[in-house]
Chain A
Amino acid sequence: MLTVKNLTKTYNGAKRSLEMVSFTVRPGEMTAIIGPSGAGKTTILRSINQLIPDDSGEIFLDDQDIRQLNKQGLRRVRHRIGMIFQNYNLVDQLTAIENVLHGRLGAKLALAGMLSLYSREEKQEALDLLAEMGLADFAYKRCSDLSGGQKQRVGIARALMQHPKIILCDEPIASLDPKSTTLVMDILKKLTTTQDISILINLHQVDIAKAYADHIVGINQGLVVFDADAAALSNEAIQEIYA
């Protein structure tokens, strides 16, 4: 469903950040990207929805090359790709439900989005998603008053509001305590099995990748050094990835 082919990027023409990176994310699977800090995990994720420009390669979502789209097309495709972040990246001064409704902006007329003119159905869906995340009582709380684990669940609800085919997760548990980590990973895993959403996730922790992911891509210095089912990740392979 998502296929990355020969993705290459250099920063300021100096060090190669990504070199001929290729891998596939299958529908309804969780694919984890693991590797040492600075290996290029975040760069790969942000290239997929073109938040940062790359140099060359192909990124196919279904049959469409994201890199060839114009501004309008890119906006449409971004709307179908959810994204959650290590630092949640919510608007802290707004309430949880307002942040969740931001997931609809890509589908709305520019002016309707600017003026927060959401339909009754959209508001109900946002409330339902928050309830699903166990945050029914926090819908009208400002996000700055929420804990890290709660903020990340608001982030997931915002992504789900986009009705995504795939969710990109950029180190989503790196700032969370162990309890919230389990909660968030369980939610993400459930999305792949019950809603057939694909998940592409950057992870620091190998044990969590092994426990949750179906498929693992290992990156070292911008090169893919491992690409197989999670079960095939041996200790030798881990050593090679983190060499």
Chain B
Amino acid sequence: MLQKQTTSTRFFRTKLTKALALVAGIIVLYIVTALTLGYDLTSFGAISQGFAWLFHYFMPTGNVLQFLGAIVTQIFRTFLIAVCATTVASVFAIILALVGAKNAGLIPVIGIFIKGLASFLRNIPLAAWALILVFSFKQNELTGFLALFFMSLGFLTRAFIETIEDYGTDTIKALEATGATYPQIVCQAILPALAVPLCEWVLYMIENNIRDAVLVGLITGSGIGFLFDLYFKSLRYNAAGLVVLGVVVLVIAWEILSIQLKKRIEHHAKD
């Protein structure tokens, strides 16, 4: 009995020590990096002043409504580009994923190639994509579309492959045993079984792309990003503030819509 108690005491004491060591490690990391960079550790105090400045200048006040028409038009176009790039990317991504997933049992070399390609596309930062594409396609909406497309293609291919591989081989083998071909198995088992998670990935990607489309527009000189850049550089801060507000409204509106869509999809799948 005594033996058992000391064992359990030691066990929980070791766990506590490990947790404390982790917290201490994070604090040490912060202090070391901050000191190396020469940050004044008291500079947090200035943050509130910074925000006060921000609110003062970026508050959409005064004659800002004259810009509203242009801003709404550009926000809507940006939204359309995000949706368009995501939907096209998801069509290509599902084809690549169905070929590349391990449980598909197709040629393994092609699977490795597709996974490598997807990781490559995804791991180039979006800003880098935009900058590279601006060189070849100049400043226009197509450039923004392509940047979002390549990024989404990489991300969705990886996500779809993981979703399909999680499905396992049981049902696939069962349909193979009936003499079904792989395209038949895709349409009769994989897609019906995974429709809900696959659609949820697409909704998530659209949400991400709406946010990213602003950044891409900034770099490629199109859409709402360009408008923000223009107002900002011409010192019309209140108009730039209205752009930010408009983007926030769009993102929140899409989030609410996408939650509703997800509920509908899941509900429908249960009936």
Contacts and interface: CB of A to CB of B under 8 A. Distances in A.
Given A91-B171, A93-B192, A116-B188, A79 B178 contact: yes
Interface string A79-117: 101110101011111100010001101111010011110
Contact of B178 (A102, A114, A116): A102
Given A49-B177, A51-B176, A79-B178, A105 B193 contact: no
B18 to A, nearest CB: 39
Interface string A53-83: 0000000000000000000000111110111
A221 interface: no
Nearest to A71: B181
Contact of B179 (A107, A114, A116): A107
A89 B173 contact: yes
Contacts of A93: 192-193, 195, 269
A162 B183 CA distance: 19
A113 B173 CA distance: 17
A75 B179 contact: yes
Interface residues of B, number: 22
A81 B175 CA distance: 12
B178 A89 contact: no
B174 interface: yes
Contact of A114 (B171, B187, B195, B270): B187
B188 A114 contact: yes
Interface in B31-80: none
B93 to A, nearest CB: 20
Contacts, number: 81
B174 A83 contact: yes
Indicate the size class of the contact surface on chain A: 20 to 34
Contacts of A168: 177
B86 to A, nearest CB: 24
Nearest to B187: A114
B170 A89 contact: yes
A191 to B, nearest CB: 17
B180 interface: yes
B69 to A, nearest CB: 47
B123 interface: no
A158 interface: yes
B189 interface: yes
Point out which of B186, B189, B193 has the most chain A C-beta atoms below 10 A from its C-beta: B189
B188 A78 contact: no
Nearest to B185: A105
Contact of A158 (B178, B179, B187): B178
B184 interface: yes
Given A102-B189, A113-B181, A114-B186, 20 more contacts: A76-B179, A78-B178, A79-B179, A82-B178, A85-B174, A89-B171, A90-B171, A91-B188, A93-B193, A94-B192, A102-B175, A102-B180, A105-B175, A105-B178, A105-B179, A110-B181, A113-B187, A114-B183, A162-B178, A162-B179
